[in-house]
Chain A
Amino acid sequence: MSAREEILARIRTAVAGAQDVEIPRGYRTERQVDDLVGLFAERVDDYRAIVHVVPSAGVPAKIDECVRGRRMVIPEGFGRDGGWDDLRTADGVLTNCAVAIAETGTIVLDHGPGQGTRAQTLVPDYHLCVVRADQIVPGVPEAVARLDPSRPLTWISGPSATSDIELNRVEGVHGPRTLEVVIST
């Protein structure tokens, strides 16, 4: 018997006669948050990321200010020229996102247009991410519902960190050590 057949047979014997269960979904799947932008900004800031809330017309100028003097990877579809091509020598990466979660201060990339490949958003030491206010949802269930599982997804909550040495939180291990978020309202 193949390993596959044998494991399946063992499972069938093991659970024969066991009761199935109903899944109670009494938790919150939609929640009211009055100030989504404010809550998201506060929660991102809690992770020691840098946050700016900027009216949409002011976003290009804010980006200029953030990237000045940095060799930035700018992925296809972001709509901005002058990107740096070599990932290893780049100082940073500039992206959009797919969804953002207010309650947890999380940004989700689905690596679609303007969001780059997984490597592009990982290797440079600085990540500047532009989040539109209408991309912010209140909680995790609302985000899961909006995402497409057939795409690779990267959920980012603050800069790379570790607590492996005496549980002292240290920002910046292998991922970008600085995360800067521009919320466009």
Chain B
Amino acid sequence: MSATFLGMPGNFPENAAIAVQDSQLRFNLRKATHTIRDRRASVVGELPDWQELRAAGKAIKDHTLRNLDRYLLRMEEAVTRAGGTVHWARDAAEANRIVTDLVKATGETEVVKVKSMATQEIGLNEALAEHGIAAYETDLAELIVQLGDDFPSHILVPAIHRNRSEIREIFLDRMPEVSRDLTDDPPALTEAARLHLRERFLRSKVAISGANFMVAETGTLVVLESEGNGRMCLSLPETLISVVGIEKLLPSWRDLEVFLQLLPRSSTGERMNPYTSMWTGAVEGQEFHLVLLDNGRTDVLADEVGRQALRCIRCSACLNVCPVYERAGGHAYGSVYPGPIGAILTPQLRGMGSELDASLPFASSLCGACYDVCPVAIDIPEVLVDLRAKAPHAAAERAGMKAAGWILNDHERLAKAQRAATKLRKLVPKRRLPGPLSAWTDTRDVPEIPEESFRDWWEREASHGQGAE
């Protein structure tokens, strides 16, 4: 079973400091992020109405969130009418319990899974394992992560941190049927994964998925994918259980015309992903269960600035352009949601009680590249700054900020402070400030304090009658 991110120790700066020492990781990440970045730019550039699509995508999501209660009820009604069963889960434990009970009711001890962020977020595989149910990931990258007892490090390409020879080693080690002659050629590795999963697809009775979108008007669920493992899981097993975050809703069928243009181009940088499956209720004799998941989303919704993070469609374009992600990699974020979107989503979903979660809003240079590429225009820097203010700060920092505020709020106090600083300038160290202030100078130079403040210079010059010509 792959490990879970929940309760991960450390903090972002420490994790990142270790990650940047790994030259293989940096090489893999740089190559991958730059490749997808260029592909995205090229297919987005093909559409003359990209900004109009982006504006519509943003507004559709905002409108849905504003009326989420109404649309969830409509979704429930439509799915029920089409023969499906709808369940509601307040948190991870409740969702895991619902899914475990549904699987147990079928009598099966194995399930196949389509790559799903929501089920990773709630640690579903581990919860099922505790009840003797084995969950098999079927997306190639998820399979690599699961077989390697590893963590995903990217939303779209979870094994982005692994190169071909590492993947070959994992397959040789964990796939008993695979030949020792397996090469590290990507087509050969892909063929090994195809053979490894083929029989499992054909005999599995239960599948678990997430969804990219759900349409309230019609009760339709939508899954976008590339490999066909999604189609296998969604259409072959007798029972299908989909765990979907409540924010994945769209009001009307027509809204798909916007998101089916925004998502593939932002995500894989293709005009369209190879396969998209849509189904409404119980299809072709299947039994269908939909689990609607809150797990912190309503807390995010209550925050006026932070709620825009719920517009996210998990395309990962923000990861691919982020200079911090490119160097630190996904694991440093300690969450299934890495990169810029993770830095605003994780602390809101989990709260900032742990050292790791409280460090995430600072995992950014605020350059704004993420905002530019976001297909639903989430102003990530705005939310980061807002979360930084809300994050817990050390007593010394709070006292320092309070003192600075007191001085800067009054021009006479500021003038006095400046005069005091010029008198003491010789005592200020050139490179490194003492005590806790050294954290600031570790990555910055101490600004030089001038012999005379501008204010004093102005007054002196004006008294000579030359200052204000």
**Could you list which residues of chain A lie within 8 angstroms of chain B, going by C-beta atoms?**
2-4, 6-8, 10-15, 18-29, 43, 46-47, 88, 101, 103-106, 117-119, 122-123, 140-141, 144-145, 149-168, 170, 172-176
Closest residue of chain B to A28, judged by CB? B49
- Nearest 7 CB-CB pairs, A to B? A175-B228, A174-B228, A118-B235, A10-B298, A14-B302, A155-B276, A173-B227
Query: Which of chain B's residues have a CB closer than 8 A to the CB of A151?
Result: 280
Interface hub of A2, A155, A164, A176 (most chain B Cβ within 10 A): A164
Closest residue of chain A to B251, judged by CB? A23
Check if B125 is an interface residue, CB within 8 A of chain A. no
> A173 near B190 (CB under 8 angstroms)?
yes
Do most interface residues of chain B lie in helix, strand or loop, or is the interface mixed? helix
Closest residue of chain A to B197, judged by CB? A174
**Could you list which residues of chain B lie within 8 angstroms of chain A, going by C-beta atoms?**
28, 31-32, 35-36, 48-49, 52-53, 55-56, 59-60, 62-63, 65-69, 72-73, 82, 88-90, 94, 138-141, 144, 157, 159-160, 163-164, 167, 186-187, 189-190, 193-194, 197-198, 201-202, 215, 218, 220, 226-229, 231-232, 234-236, 246, 253-254, 256-258, 260-261, 268, 270-280, 283-284, 292, 294, 298-299, 301-302, 304, 307
Question: How far does the alpha carbon of A155 sit from the alpha carbon of B273 in the complex, in Å?
Answer: 9
Given contacts A122-B228, A154-B231, contact A7 B90 (CB under 8 A): yes
Query: Which of chain A's residues have a CB closer than 8 A to the CB of B283?
Result: 118, 152
Query: Which of chain A's residues have a CB closer than 8 A to the CB of B144?
Result: 164
Interface hub of A122, A149, A172 (most chain B Cβ within 10 A): A149
Query: Which of chain A's residues have a CB closer than 8 A to the CB of B139?
Result: 164
> A140 near B260 (CB under 8 angstroms)?
yes
Question: How far does the alpha carbon of A104 sit from the alpha carbon of B276 in the complex, in Å?
Answer: 13
Question: How far does the alpha carbon of A18 sit from the alpha carbon of B62 in the complex, in Å?
Answer: 10
* One of B65, B73, B82, B193 near A150 (C-beta < 8 A): B82
B118 to chain A, nearest CB (A): 15
> B190 near A172 (CB under 8 angstroms)?
yes
Query: Which of chain B's residues have a CB closer than 8 A to the CB of A46?
Result: 271
Query: Which of chain B's residues have a CB closer than 8 A to the CB of A159?
Result: 274
> A27 near B226 (CB under 8 angstroms)?
no
Closest residue of chain A to B273, judged by CB? A157
Given contacts A141-B257, A157-B272, A173-B229, contact A22 B59 (CB under 8 A): yes
Question: How far does the alpha carbon of A142 sit from the alpha carbon of B299 in the complex, in Å?
Answer: 38
Interface CB pairs A-B, < 8 A, 23: A3-B94, A7-B294, A8-B69, A20-B63, A20-B66, A21-B62, A23-B56, A26-B49, A27-B56, A27-B258, A123-B202, A149-B220, A152-B235, A154-B231, A160-B226, A164-B140, A165-B167, A167-B157, A173-B228, A174-B197, A174-B201, A175-B231, A175-B232
A161 to chain B, nearest CB (A): 5
Given contacts A122-B228, A158-B274, A173-B228, contact A24 B52 (CB under 8 A): yes
* One of A15, A29, A155, A164 near B275 (C-beta < 8 A): A155
Question: How far does the alpha carbon of A82 sit from the alpha carbon of B272 in the complex, in Å?
Answer: 34
> B66 near A18 (CB under 8 angstroms)?
yes
> A162 near B301 (CB under 8 angstroms)?
no
A7-B298, A13-B302, A118-B234 known; 11 new pairs, CB 8 Å cut-off, are A11-B246, A20-B67, A23-B63, A123-B202, A144-B256, A160-B228, A160-B274, A164-B144, A166-B164, A167-B160, A174-B231
Question: How far does the alpha carbon of A20 sit from the alpha carbon of B201 in the complex, in Å?
Answer: 45
> B271 near A104 (CB under 8 angstroms)?
yes
> B94 near A165 (CB under 8 angstroms)?
no
> A23 near B278 (CB under 8 angstroms)?
no
Question: How far does the alpha carbon of A46 sit from the alpha carbon of B144 in the complex, in Å?
Answer: 28
> A7 near B292 (CB under 8 angstroms)?
yes
* One of A2, A20, A28, A118 near B284 (C-beta < 8 A): A118
Query: Which of chain B's residues have a CB closer than 8 A to the CB of A175?
Result: 227-228, 231-232, 274-275
Closest residue of chain A to B201, judged by CB? A174
Question: How far does the alpha carbon of A18 sit from the alpha carbon of B303 in the complex, in Å?
Answer: 11
> A150 near B280 (CB under 8 angstroms)?
yes
> A166 near B257 (CB under 8 angstroms)?
no
A77 to chain B, nearest CB (A): 16
A51 to chain B, nearest CB (A): 15
* One of B88, B140, B235 near A2 (C-beta < 8 A): B88
Given contacts A14-B301, A152-B283, A173-B228, contact A165 B62 (CB under 8 A): no
Question: How far does the alpha carbon of A163 sit from the alpha carbon of B284 in the complex, in Å?
Answer: 31
Query: Which of chain B's residues have a CB closer than 8 A to the CB of A162?
Result: 140, 190, 226-227
Query: Which of chain B's residues have a CB closer than 8 A to the CB of A21?
Result: 59, 62-63, 66
Question: How far does the alpha carbon of A26 sit from the alpha carbon of B55 in the complex, in Å?
Answer: 9
Query: Which of chain B's residues have a CB closer than 8 A to the CB of A119?
Result: 235-236
Given contacts A173-B194, A175-B228, contact A153 B56 (CB under 8 A): no
> B227 near A156 (CB under 8 angstroms)?
no
Given contacts A26-B55, A140-B257, contact A163 B226 (CB under 8 A): yes
